[in-house]
Amino acid sequence: MATQFMFPRNEKSEEIVRKTTPKVIAHFIKKKLTYGSPIFIRIFKESFQLELWVKNGDKFILLRTYYICDLSGTLGPKIQQGDRQAPEGFYSVAPDQLNPWSKHHLSFNLGFPNEYDLAHKRTGSGLMVHGKCSSTGCFAMSNSRIEEIYTIADSALLHGQPSFSVHIFPFRMTEQNLTKHKSKWTPFWKNLKEGYDFFEQTSIPPHIRVENCRYTFSFENYQTMAAEIPNEQICVD
């Protein structure tokens, strides 16, 4: 188990975790899952849904689906600072990305821009999953929902998960939805669909790299980092 001094903490977050833990443990018991196990998050912008998955053996089981109170922008990735777009892609959250001092009650930083974003010269910072119900490019969950999500993430990281993956999609990545939402982003979305399909078929988050300006996916031991980039790439959208 990781030690507490490695984690951003204050009296407020510690009290919230104490208060919320019994309710969260009840969710785990209902699904026959172990509290403190590794977690994985998927976000779907069109349906305003955040899914929280928990590792059980070699697979991940859906614990809960949370409604996103507010997000800004349209379907499509974040391109530049100030465009008010919520990102799309594959991200990861390590302990030092938790923010108990957030002005939005509680939050964690998604790690935008990741290696893919940097390769494509996308700019921006401070993209969060947070409390309250107002967004300028983040995912606002409301205070009660972020308390549960934050508590579960805190426990997983304390129990040794080095970081957890967050996969963000514009919509459920079906062929029907790709046809319905056909746009200039369709090639990018088809690349995201490969990662979506991998998890749908295996219930295991893929190992992700950035090669030749696109995400690639492999069936290795669960890696919690977002995209790895082997060397500097210059990409054009």
Q: Which domains does the chain have, with CATH numbers?
A: 4-169 (2.40.440.10)
pLDDT at 3: 46
Tokens of 13: 């977050």
SS3 state of residue 144: helix
Pairing of strands 164-169, 139-140: unpaired
**92: CB partners within 8 A, 6+ apart:** 111, 114, 163, 164, 165, 166, 224, 225, 226
Place of tokens 């129990």: 159
Q: At what angle do helices 11-30 and 143-158 cross, to 10 degrees?
A: 80
Q: If we measure between CA atoms, which residue out of 192, 201, 188 comes closest to residue 172?
A: 192
Give pairs for 95-100: CB < 8 Å, separation 24+: 95/2, 95/6, 95/7, 95/8, 95/157, 95/163, 96/8, 97/163, 98/7, 98/8, 98/13, 98/150, 98/153, 98/154, 98/157, 99/8, 99/128, 100/8, 100/9, 100/10, 100/12, 100/13
149 backbone φψ class: left, alpha, beta (φ>0; ψ -120 to 50): alpha
213 counts as catalytic = no
Report residues of the chain scoring pLDDT below 50.
1-5, 223-225, 229
133 counts as catalytic = no
Pairing of strands 49-56, 39-44: antiparallel
pLDDT at 219: 80
What would the pLDDT profile of 62-72 be if each residue is shown by its tens digit? Answer: 999 999 999 99
The active-site residue, picked from 104, 120, 130, 207, is 130
